[in-house]
Structure 1
């Protein structure tokens, strides 16, 4: 029996003449979403000085996240109705319209409308980024394509704060949104050419209205929990959101029209455990939301330098993906899926243990290294978790629905991660050292749950493979 090579097609195979366009579209759509998430956070404090509405500042994120989650669940139906070209044009069109509204907004109320429209387009772009991988690339390239798409969050971590910070400091904050609109139109313009060989696909069904309502309520509760007074109110908001998510899963198990594929709820299927592993590792990156604050308060860094320290986890994530995405041997891939949450747990724990007041340069460098280790854990596992989802069913329509749900799962995890991080930081106040340790140990505990989920996925996959083997032998 010939062994499977450790490395299949290389990164260059994503950039061949017949794949370059689709690679730009998939990666560009996710990058625009990530950049928008970070650039808005940098700009809004300056914007409210001109347009007012400080009391609604948190809602600029809330409406964006809620709209994104809702539209990401419609990717399968959109692909069935309009195909990849029409779906991507819709996503880029909505995103550009929302960005233009933000650019010209004379008031916070209109800016919130723009953010909602942006979110509708962004959620489609996020979901399509994974769903179209299943159709546009051969199986051997899907892990690399998924790694490239998810690495765009690292691009957003650098470009977003830099773009927003420069224009906020210079004064004309609206130009940052204008630049984002130009980028959106530029990438969207190549969609008809880049995706012309892809046909209509997806999961044709009615809109899962009840599931969408429950997801929207959960996302809203999570976002509101992040701005409630610390303590009992914040915890109550998170608990309420978790209860709504439990209601969503209960409904999905029994409903005729669903967001998640049916395979998620099949008893012996590994898909549910793969999704749970993805949630656990995606929540871990929430650390980045608060690292710049801790770097300033504990390390005495200037805001710009603190921002780059905050990007250390994304850098580790991106670098690890470059190395791990080429693995092909089943045994190696299985170990990477398990090693990811383990490395993430270790990195977060080390970061917590090394936090001290009045940190010097050497300690800051240790923090950066520990956060890069944590980020590397995500990068080791994510491409292969994504590929496992795409290969979860022999039915192409069901496999694509599962792939489209990756974006929804990631968005939900990001929303919950932000809210849970806010709760943990609030528990440590007024001490920034205690807040940092609560956050990092808390996220490490969640990552450890990801280890358990990865083990459960491995066992379920092994049972499924063992059951298929006799059938293959008989045939």
Structure 2
């Protein structure tokens, strides 16, 4: 049952003996995925010098995202067959094996295979964390749990490049992958005692895995990811449009199936859950340019060092983390207000960056980055809770898995569209300040329609 109106859940409630161990296990899985996803920013340039394969470098990103989306999508179906403990062990094993392959890699083909397996294992661990939040804890704790998960994600994303940089500096880039392989083993061994007797498998409800639909989803994600790295603008546009079309076909087929991967109508704006997921996806797509092109644009236009630009981008994660933890303890009656204010904050920051990114100054860009993080932080946990709570109880695991899965797809699609916009302006590392300013304007202004979609759906999901 929902918590009583006006009841405030203290953060100390998570420290109870029955909650804390499970929360730590689930959060640790998020750490492994999020830190590993950004680790390669500092590791791969050095790794390529040793093993070669520069023309195929983008595939280390593409297949990592592919693996995380596909495995994350079917996490709920796997849990119904095996229970959460075996699912956690399976995901952890894939992750460890992938890290070991990348650590051993003698050429780019092995590295790419390792990154695919890391994505599969890590994506599974993240979806299991969201599923665990809604199935292993009482509903009154959902917002707190999701806030912790998002905080761990934010901190982990910041730590990944630092960890990779440390191992590069000591001349042992392979050690970075070994370090995460060892951590993956921890997940495998601690999950059984800490998660046992929770969410057992439902053997009577087993349906065959939807292999055909998973293949369709895989092709869609591949097309979208590649659209962001190909040089031909026309080909990128075709890939992007093809990917979106295939995703729509996938959603239609999945909705009509018995063994659905996601709840029926999961993107239907007339429902609370559909509005919530559309809000998350549209705002993520609309703002991803700050992460993708922000550092390079600040370097070309303002001469900002990579460290300074990195700190400015990190302000979003910092604000998100702090705001999510603080607001997760607010009373339930404030949820609709926080969701609306959060979407407004994100929109204000986006509109501000349309004008601030081309001309500065840097402190204004920093301010908007912080405001953006606050907006996501104060709304994300409450929207996620409503997405999960407003589907039938039998489909809550599926709804939980849909949140990180569609978020990753939205980020990939937003990155691809940003790349098309930038390439259409002739953008490169050697671009002039004038060209960079033009790109800085259009990489944010072009996503304004999605901002309005985010605002509209935020108001819909706020309705009781």
Mapping of residues 375-386 of structure 1, within 5 Å: 375-386=373-384
2: distance between equivalents of 1:188 and 1:289? 33
The change in CA–CA distance for 1:313 and 1:7 in structure 2 (over 3 A counts) is farther
Alignment partner, residue 399 of structure 1: 396
Alignment-derived partner of residue 422 in structure 2: 425
Instruction: Tell me the distance in 2 between the aligned counterparts of 1:326 and 1:427.
Output: 45
Aligned match for 2:264, one of 262, 265, 282: 262
Instruction: Give yes or no for contact 2:272–2:386 (8 Å, CA) kept in 1.
Output: no
Equivalent residue number for residue 95 of structure 1: 95
Question: How far apart are residue 215 of structure 1 and its match?
Answer: 1.2
Q: Which residue is equivalent to 1:322?
A: 325
* Residue 229 of structure 1, aligned match among 189, 210, 231: 231
Post-superposition offset of 1:201: 4.5
**What residue is the counterpart of 1:67 in the other structure?**
67
> 2: distance between equivalents of 1:16 and 1:369?
37
- TM-aligned CA deviation for residue 7 of structure 1: 5.6
Q: Does 1:305 align with 2:308?
A: yes
Aligned to 1:469: none
Deviation at 1:67, TM superposition (A): 1.2
Q: RMSD between aligned alpha carbons?
A: 2.1
Give 5+ residue unaligned stretches, structure 1: 463-475
Shift of 1:356: 4.1
* Residue matched to 2:460: 456
Task: Give the number of equivalent residue pairs.
Answer: 452
Write out per-residue CA displacement over residues 220-245 of structure 1, whole angstroms, 9 at most, x where no aligned residue.
Answer: 00111011115322222211211111
2:297 to 270, 290, 294: 294
* C-alpha deviation, 1:249, in angstroms: 2.1
Separation in 2 of the partners of 1:368 and 1:240? Answer: 36
Corresponding residue for 2:339?
337
- Distance, in Å, in 1 between the alignment partners of 2:269 and 2:43 is 47
Scaled by the length of structure 2, the TM-score of the pair is 0.91
Looking at structure 2, the residues matched to 312 and 445 of structure 1 have their Cα atoms a distance apart, in angstroms, of 25
Change (3 A) 1:151 1:444: farther
TM-score with structure 1 setting the length: 0.89
Deviation at 1:256, TM superposition (A): 2.8
Give the secondary structure class of the aligned counterpart of 1:355. helix
In structure 2, C-alpha distance between the alignment counterparts of 1:204 and 1:157, rounded to whole Å: 36
For residue 266 of structure 2, give the secondary structure of its aligned residue in structure 1.
helix
Structure 2: which 5+ residue stretches go unaligned?
none
- Indicate which of 209, 214, 220 corresponds to 1:207: 209
SS of 2:18's partner is: coil
Deviation at 1:438, TM superposition (A): 1.6
CA distance in 1, matches of 2:5, 2:277: 27
1:44-443 correspondence runs (5 A): 44-201=44-201, 204-262=206-264, 264=266, 269-286=271-288, 287-330=290-333, 332-356=334-358, 363-393=361-391, 395-428=392-425, 429=427, 430=431, 431-443=435-447
Q: Is the 8 A contact 1:288 1:311 kept in 2?
A: no
Contact 1:21–1:193 (8 Å) recurs in 2: no
Query: For residues 123-157 of structure 1, what are the alpha-carbon distances to aligned partners after superposition, in whole Å with 9 as ceiling and x for unaligned?
Result: 21111111111111111110111111122221123
Contact kept, 8 Å, 1:211 with 1:258, in 2: the verdict is no
